[in-house]
Amino acid sequence: MLSISLIIVIILALGFDFINGFHDTANSIATTVSTRVLTPTVAILMAATFNFAGALASEKVAKTISKGLIDGNLEQYVIIAALLAAIIWNLITWFIGIPSSSSHALIGGLIGSSIVYAMSFKKVLWDGVFHKIIIPLFSSPLIGFIFGFVLMWLLYRLLAPFSHRMVNGWFSKIQIFSAILMSFAHGKNDAQKSMGIITLALVSAGFLTKDDAIPLWVKLSCAIAMAIGTSVGGWKIIKTMGTSITKLEPIGGFAAQTAAAVVIEVASEIGAPISTTQVISTAIMGVGASKRFSAVKWIIAKSILWAWVVTIPVTALLGAGITALLKMFY
């Protein structure tokens, strides 16, 4: 029988997935909306559909979250604290329109809450954190920037003989497919984090072992929660991602989305829970920089960078503080 604490974990995990959906909607559709290839409503519905499909496509990232970061089982209130820390940070950054990483908010919360729960740093599998989190934290945004820069540079040269109007006409249609690919990749990586958290809670409660497959109901509920959240849309972050970093045309939107989707797909296949926000942001910067470096609004980029840097430490402290508070009542 499910305990009240386990039910709370499941509700909060699905709530996190919902918030992740509207917080990170901009990841897959901001460039499509800003270049006016699709209306916001159509773009959001398309993103929700392919987020759902991507969420069901794999479980490698979920396995990393459920058994690759923490040694042994946790009490349910520790997982509750981690989820609350991530949700609080997501809502704060959404409110001020900064595209921070939902993934790293969750991981930071889990690390902080686990340390306070065990009163030891040994509870965290630091080797897994280093290889699956820290290395991708620094490498994936850099790769996104390089891919975006190179792809845009190649497209400029390949399409130089054609008129600007003709090229934008072509990519107004082609960009729809890159948006679909980006939406699918986003769902494939991001929805699995909540799947991993619920699986971790089920293992801790004795309903599963760490070697069991993720139950179908967990996959479906997380996929649905993210799709519904995506359908709500995160307009403030869409504005930041689509227009504030650099001015994009359809060809630039295509290059940024395609570059980011490739990086995210590779990360999902190796089970790395990377930040889709970071990757698409730096891909957009790379596209802008391929024209000229002054085309990127580096002041905006700097504020986004600071949000990335502080997300894990802040949510770790939040998770630790909430765990210490809840520990008094358990």
Average pLDDT over residues 306-311: 80
Task: At 46, give phi and psi (nearest 5°).
Answer: -65, -45
pLDDT at position 8 over 90: yes
80 lies in which domain range?
A: 4-327
More confidently predicted of 52 and 308: 52
Q: Please determine, for residue 80, whether its predicted confidence score (pLDDT) is greater than 90.
A: yes
Give the Cα separation of 9 and 19 in Å (integer).
15
Q: Which two tokens stand for residue 9?
A: 């974990």
Residue 277 — very low, low, confident or very high, per pLDDT cuts 50/70/90?
A: confident
Q: List, in order, residues 6 or more apart from 175 with CB less than 8 Å away.
A: 31, 32, 35, 37, 250, 251, 253, 254, 257
Alpha carbon separation from 285 to 99, 142, 218, 259 (Å, rounded): 14, 10, 36, 12
Query: What does the alpha-carbon distance between residue 199 and residue 194 come to, in Å, rounded to a whole number?
Result: 8
pLDDT digits (tens, 9 = 90+) for 119-172: 999 899 999 888 888 888 778 888 999 999 999 999 999 998 999 889 988 988
C-alpha span between 70 and 125 (Å, rounded): 5
Backbone angles phi, psi at 210, to 5 degrees: -65, -20
User: Alpha helix locations (H) across the chain?
Assistant: 4-23, 25-34, 40-55, 60-67, 76-96, 102-118, 126-129, 135-158, 164-204, 216-232, 235-239, 250-269, 276-291, 298-327
> pTM for this one?
0.85
Residue 250's Cβ-side half-sphere holds a number of Cα atoms within 13 Å equal to: 17
Let me know if 310 is exposed, middle or buried by CB neighbors in 10 A (0-12, 13-18, 19+). Answer: middle
- Angle at CA of residue 241, ends 184 and 276, nearest 5°: 40
**pLDDT mean over 29-47:** 76
**Close Cβ partners of 299 (under 8 Å, ≥ 6 residues apart):** none
- In the chain, how many domains are there? 1
Would you tell me the crossing angle of helices 216-232 and 4-23 to the nearest 10 degrees? 40
C-alpha closest to that of 182 among 282, 101, 265, 243:
265
Q: Using an 8 Å Cβ cutoff, are 256 and 280 in contact? A: yes
Amino acid at 73: N
Question: 308 vs 99, 103, 108, 181, 273, CA distance in Å?
Answer: 9, 11, 12, 24, 15
